[in-house]
Amino acid sequence: MAKNFVWTLVVLMVNFGGCFTEGVDNTTVSTRPDVISIASILTFNSIIGKVSKIALEAAIEDVNSDPNILNGTKLKITIHDSNYSGFLGMMSALQVMETDAVALIGPQTSVLAHVISHVATELKVPFLSFTATDPTLSSLQYPYFVRTTHSDLYQMAAIADIVRYYEWRQVIAIYIDDDHGRNGIISLGDQLAARGCKISHKAPIKPLATKSDISDVLVQVALMESRVLVVHTYANWGLDILDVAKSLQMLDNGYVWIATNWLSTVIDISSPLPSNTIDVMQGFITLKAYTKDSNLTRKFASEWRNLTTFGLSTYCLYAYDTIWLLAHALDSYFDQGGNITFSKDDKLNGLKGDMLNLNSLSIFNGGNLLLQNILNVKVEGLTGAIEFTSAKDLVYPAFEVLNVIGTGVRKIGYWSNFSGLSTIPPDTVNMKPPQQSSDSEGLHSVIWPGQTTHKPRGWVFPENGMQLEIGVPKRVSFQEFVGQSKDSGAFKGYCIDVFTAAVNLLPYAVPYKFQSYGDGVKNPSNSELVRKITAGVYDAAVGDIAITTNRTRLADFSQPFIESGLVVVAPVKRSNSSTWAFLRPFSPLMWCVSGVFFIVVGSVVWILEHRINDEFRGPPKKQVVTVLWFSFSTLFSSHRENTLSTLGRMVLLLWLFVVLIINSSYTASLTSILTVQKLYSPIKGIDSLMATKDPIGYQENSFVRNYLIAEYGIHESRLVPLSLPEDFEKALKDGPSKGGVVAVVDERAYVELFLSTRCEFSIVGQEFTKNGWGFAFPRDSPLAADMSTAILKLSETGELQRIHDKWLLRSACSSQGTQYEVDQLELTSFRGLFLICGLVCFLALIIYITLTVRQFYKLYPALTESTGRSVRSGPLQTFVSFVDEKEDLVKARSKRKYSEASSSRIDVDDASMRNYKCSLDLSLNSK
């Protein structure tokens, strides 16, 4: 018998994943039945099972007494007890299906929901659950499963937002190791990752664990550095976890406990709680499903007090709404012509069992239609709007954020999927987010474990007796930054003092010991040191470690404690005044262009003034001198010649402005050269180095080599590694001609220390990168953030500067003055000015020539007759002669000729008139 029963179960479970086609309707019922059977599976011994049973029965009674729904058809519910057993729950589900139930409500646990969903899918019976919150139940694998509460996906999103709001980065997850716990914590991990946080440790507890089992798990948790604990379990077992945590002193100051909605359920149902129970919850943050306050809810709460002594939980409200949801769906189902009919499952033919009557299991023919009606329901219930999304989730997921304090809870805010954390209640009716001010974002103040209002740091250094292994580069040069004593082996230097001072500011003890990294023969690679952290060799790294892009991919860094971008250092010489110092303000090209423009402008003005201004007339030799004198005298505004033409005045006015700018720039530059400039170098910066082929020095094992190759395309054959400051000095003094380098590229911190006692070198050009040095820690280490805060405190108090002056301040070259050469003024700075001046001169000439040619063609015949010249002598020669003449003479001669021509025409006209009169008289006489 037992063997047959086992084989029956195996075959049955295999066939539960079969096809979803509708069976053949064996009966035809055209009217609404008098009674509709539904079934439910609960755990009677659990507090949720107890109150849910009462709520379901109350809902059935209210539906059956309401004449506005189902038109007289009554609902009959059969409730089975799973007794915390998955096996018994499955058997109950099979027994329920023997009663031809059209819907199944429950079970409480997600574990059992996964199993029963296969039965519901095979028999096409809608399966509604108000307690199974496992997010994976929403998958396409379970088409007949309908969750009538909110998925844990949203609850975990709310917790992730809380963690981010309080700026914690790591949490420890404590959970029951079953489908409910595992899948919920997986969702939490995804939500945290989306917000830049993570679960640093998972602490699973086996189902039905004893307090001894729980203690073993929590002892391991207590050794972890994170103090933010998220507890995701069941209401009946959560209190056992808290009791064990209290015995391990894990409820004291410094801990953060965040419980999912199981804790608020315990408080609601069991209120008032015993004092010893409420004591272990002090300072906890928990979530509770948000339900809209309405007359319907208040009425039910009043009736609830008459039904039981248990408190009213949100699970009661969701259980009540589930029955009404099903009633509305059935009402629509019958309105659409649906019938309650069943058919046999052909897959069960041939299966025999002594304990199960498999032939009594039938497929609900209208299951698919009823399922669609359930998903299409839109009504208002005790919990608010009952409506499903396309993913079969209830709309408007929202939670209250509660803080357990005193003998109850205090509401510190809300969370919803469209507004996040807020102190304003979410609007569960309107789709649009409520209008909030920035003041409403976030949460109210919290009383944390230990009765403190100060936000816990969220982590502590593990109290397991182990010390941090901190790698320190064993440098052979620039040991002012980090070095090791040959006698005692103690580490010293600027970086070591900064780290020690920052650690002393931390509000907790950090045991550590330094470990040297390097062979002591040459400087070690800091990039390799950072990789040692990733490999787990070191817990941190302290030293002259530049924060670069590649290194940040391997580790987290503290706030920079010194700025140190890349600079170019090269030999310089004093730029003393010389005989030709007055020529240095302008570049050679600038001098040439300026001289050309002086001559051009003078020539243009001469052309414009020559015909009308006596000061610009005379013998050719005199005119050349006049042009040159006028041009260069404008430099000092001492020209004697006046301009008479409009075009000439316009050109001169603009030119005087250009001269003013050139004169002022020259004066300022010359003053700077003679009084400020001290040093000179042919190298101007990184751009000058790129333009040459000379070798460039860099500090050995520095990131500078790869940076220059990758970012600036400098060939690696040009890069010369140097180790000691003495090597820097020799290579720079020798220069490229003697096997040295033209310049050295290194970080500013090293260069400034190098230059402090070597005045013959200097930084040239500008700093071409911006970075700093920081302490390296493993990824997501909370110590990095705390050390950053400590470094900022050192900076604010001036201690960081004091440490800097102690190790790095040198004054040997402090009197040498400015270390940067004053650049010559290039033509580029005046290009626009010269372009405008040249354009104005060109336009003035075009206008002048146009007017002159027009005048020439107008006066050319008169000019030819008066001079007796023949046009055959050449129009160009005639035009040149015309242009050379003074304009007043040309105009006077033209006017005189015009008068003579007019007189000649009058005489001719008089003679003609006289001849006409004579002819007329002769004609009359002849007649």
- Could you read off the pLDDT of 9-47 as tens digits, one per residue? 433 443 433 333 333 343 444 478 899 999 898 888 888
Cα torsion 391, 394, 396, 401 to 10°: value is -120
Angular region, 389: left φ>0, alpha ψ -120 to 50, beta rest: beta
Point out the least confidently predicted range of 254-263, 349-358, 586-595, 917-926.
917-926
Closest CA to 291 of 410, 164, 161, 380: 380
449 with 441: CB under 8 angstroms? no
Q: What is the pLDDT of residue 909?
A: 54
CA 303 to chain centre: 52
Q: Does 78 have pLDDT greater than 70?
A: yes
Average of per-residue pLDDT across 258-267: 94
Rounded Cα gap, residues 229 and 221, in angstroms: 9
Q: Name, in order, each residue with C-beta under 8 angstroms of 28's C-beta and a sequence gap of 6 or more.
A: 339, 341
283 with 394: CB under 8 angstroms? no
Point out the least confidently predicted range of 161-175, 203-217, 458-472, 542-556.
458-472
Single-letter amino acid, residue 523:
N
What tokens were used for 704?
């500078």
> Does residue 205 sit in helix, strand or coil?
strand
Q: What is the pLDDT of residue 610?
A: 67
Across the chain, what does the average pLDDT equal? 82
Burial of 767 (0-12, 13-18, 19+ CB in 10 A): middle
Closest CA to 75 of 58, 95, 90: 58
Point out the least confidently predicted range of 419-433, 733-747, 787-801.
419-433
Closest CA to 287 of 418, 475, 160: 160
Q: Does 52 have pLDDT greater than 80?
A: yes
Please give the DSSP secondary-structure letter assigned to residue 612: T
Average of per-residue pLDDT across 747-774: 89
- More confident site: 714 or 678: 714
> What confidence category does residue 866 fall into, taking pLDDT thresholds of 50, 70 and 90?
very low
> What confidence category does residue 680 fall into, taking pLDDT thresholds of 50, 70 and 90?
low
Using CA atoms, how far residue 591 sits from 586, 662, 789, in Å, is 6, 11, 57
Name the pTM for this structure.
0.67
Residue 459 phi, psi dihedral angles, 5° rounding: -165, 160
Point out the least confidently predicted range of 49-58, 229-238, 640-649.
640-649
> What confidence category does residue 8 fall into, taking pLDDT thresholds of 50, 70 and 90?
very low
Count, in order, helices (H) and strands (E) of the chain: 28, 33
Q: What is the pLDDT of residue 109?
A: 85
Would you report the helix, strand and coil content of the chain in percent, each value rounded to 5? 50, 15, 35
- More confident site: 474 or 921: 474
685 with 765: CB under 8 angstroms? yes
Q: What is the pLDDT of residue 314?
A: 93
pLDDT (tens digit, 9 = 90+) per residue, 220-230? Answer: 999 888 899 99
Q: What is the pLDDT of residue 795?
A: 94
Q: What is the pLDDT of residue 918?
A: 54
Q: Does 705 have pLDDT greater than 70?
A: yes
Rounded Cα gap, residues 580 and 577, in angstroms: 8
Q: What is the pLDDT of residue 638?
A: 57
Q: What is the pLDDT of residue 865?
A: 47
Instruction: Give the torsion sign (CA, 682, 683, 687, 693).
Output: positive
pLDDT (tens digit, 9 = 90+) per residue, 156-183? Answer: 999 999 999 998 989 999 999 999 999 9
Rounded Cα gap, residues 780 and 192, in angstroms: 13
- More confident site: 794 or 903: 794
Range with top average pLDDT, 114-123, 173-182, 658-667: 173-182
Q: What is the pLDDT of residue 567?
A: 93
Rounded Cα gap, residues 819 and 813, in angstroms: 10
Q: Does 634 have pLDDT greater than 80?
A: no
> What confidence category does residue 823 fall into, taking pLDDT thresholds of 50, 70 and 90?
low
> What confidence category does residue 826 fall into, taking pLDDT thresholds of 50, 70 and 90?
confident
> What confidence category does residue 146 fall into, taking pLDDT thresholds of 50, 70 and 90?
very high
732 with 577: CB under 8 angstroms? no
Alpha helix (H) residue ranges in 702-830: 704-712, 725-734, 748-755, 782-797, 799-808
> Does residue 226 sit in helix, strand or coil?
strand
Residues forming a β-bridge with 586: 825
- Of the chain, the percentage scoring pLDDT greater than 90 comes to 44
Average of per-residue pLDDT across 241-256: 93
Q: Does 609 have pLDDT greater than 60?
A: yes
H-helix or E-strand containing 328?
Answer: helix 314-335
Cis peptide before 135 (omega within 30 of 0): no
Point out the least confidently predicted range of 334-348, 620-634, 700-714.
620-634
Average of per-residue pLDDT across 546-574: 91
- More confident site: 106 or 252: 252
Range with top average pLDDT, 408-422, 672-686, 829-843, 883-897: 408-422
Please give the DSSP secondary-structure letter assigned to residue 408: E
Average of per-residue pLDDT across 288-296: 90
- More confident site: 639 or 213: 213
Q: What is the pLDDT of residue 683?
A: 84
Instruction: Give the torsion sign (CA, 859, 864, 866, 867).
Output: positive
- Through-space distance between the first and last CA atoms of the chain, rounded to whole angstroms: 172
Q: Does 318 have pLDDT greater than 60?
A: yes
- Of the chain, the percentage scoring pLDDT greater than 70 comes to 79
Closest CA to 381 of 464, 484, 289: 289
